[in-house]
Amino acid sequence: MTVLNSILFYFLAALAIGSALLMVTRRNIVHAAIFLLAALLATAGIFLQLQADFLFIVQIFLFAGGIMALFVFAIMLVRPGIPSQPPRFTRQRFVATILTLILAAQVFFAVVLGSGSLRLAARSVDIAPKNTEAVGDALFRQFIVPFEIASILLLLAMIGAVVISRRNRDAFD
């Protein structure tokens, strides 16, 4: 059974990485949004395989459902046009290359030089709730104020997006 789990994990990981790469390389914003959805669903599959039920449901409902619906509405409201000549980014390419090399070095050192004692300590500490009910209980009892503040900020951001889109639509009409 572990061989099948490994095959499934590597398939979902390759799907997530491939979709993410295709997402950032597409010029068509609708195609990029579809590849983002594929990456989010592959990540949800990895969470399900790891038996992280709460993260799986959050990934499906919040990200793949809610955020993607928001992106689709934003694409429809903004009506992105393709510029006649794409801008040239010469300095940004140099900075991006340096930052990519720095990130690759950090990942290399974390994977290759990571000590075994840190990994064991991370496994032994178990502060996460055991099931979804415990997560919901903690969210609505201990963290109710931050939860409500986040919901108010999201509501204000949505109202701001509608106001900005209406202002832009009036400029086009």
Neighbours of 75 (CB within 10 A): 14
Q: 25 lies in which domain range? A: 1-87
In a domain, 100, yes or no: no
pLDDT at 21: 93
Q: What is residue 129's predicted lDDT score, i.e. its pLDDT?
A: 53
- How many residues are recorded in the chain? 173
| Residue 123 banded pLDDT, cuts 50, 70, 90 | very low
Tell me the C-alpha distance between 45 and 111, whole Å. 24
**CATH number (domain holding residue 64):** 1.20.120.1200
Per residue in 95-106, pLDDT tens?
A: 788 888 988 888
Q: Which amino acid is residue 161, in one-letter code?
A: A
Above 50 in pLDDT, residue 120? Answer: no
Whether 135 is covered by a domain: the verdict is: no
Alpha-carbon gap, residue 153 to 25, rounded angstroms: 31
Is 173 inside a domain boundary? no
Q: Is residue 99 part of a domain?
A: no
Q: Of 122 and 88, which is predicted with more confidence?
A: 88
Q: Within a domain: residue 3?
A: yes
Domain count, the chain: 1
> pLDDT (tens digit, 9 = 90+) per residue, 31-79?
888 898 899 999 999 988 888 888 888 888 888 888 888 787 777 777 6
The answer on pLDDT for 16 being more than 90 is: yes
pTM over 0.85: no
pLDDT score for 51: 82
The percent of residues above 70 in pLDDT, for the chain, comes to 78
Give the Cα-Cα-Cα angle 63, 68, 70 (nearest 5 degrees): 110
Which residues, including other chains, have CB under 8 Å from residue 49's CB and lie 6 or more apart?
A: 5, 8, 9, 12
Give domain status of residue 123, yes or no: no
| Residue 172 covered by a domain | no
Nearest to 60 by CA among 75, 76, 47, 74: 47
User: Is a pLDDT exceeding 50 seen at residue 118?
Assistant: no
Q: Do the beta carbons of residue 129 and residue 135 sit within 8 Å?
A: yes
* 111: pLDDT strictly greater than 70: yes
Among candidate residues 56, 53, 48, 55, the one with its CA nearest the CA of residue 5:
48
Asked if the structure places residue 98 within a domain, the reply is no
Lowest mean pLDDT among 55-59, 78-82, 121-125: 121-125
Query: Cα separation of 88 and 148, whole Å?
Result: 43
